[in-house]
Amino acid sequence: MICQIMVTEESGSKLAAILVYVGGKITGKAEPGYEDLVKDTLAQLHIVDGGERRVSLKDDPKAWFEALPETYNGSYLRAKMI
């Protein structure tokens, strides 16, 4: 699975990073200037199962990865599976 992390700037949407989930591991590459944003994103807990469970990247990487689009769907920061 592949996920794009997008940010909105004055000039429009811009790719901040690409994250990849393969075989239980998540790898990725941040665009220059977005390294801290991506590091902070990787550290966040995500709420899944209708708000019943919180997952971290370490505890359940697949559920964490699948929750990216729902977690990051705002006007500034968005995650999109491709």
Q: Are 18 and 3 in contact (CB under 8 A)?
A: yes
pLDDT of residue 36: 93
Strands (E), the chain: 2-9, 12-22, 25-30, 46-48, 53-55, 77-81
Q: What digits encode the pLDDT tens for the residues 35-56?
A: 998 888 888 887 777 778 888 8
* Residue tagged 């690409």 (tokens): 18
Which stretches in the chain have pLDDT values below 50? none
Q: Which residues pair with 6 in a beta bridge?
A: 15, 78
Q: Supply the pTM of this predicted model.
A: 0.85
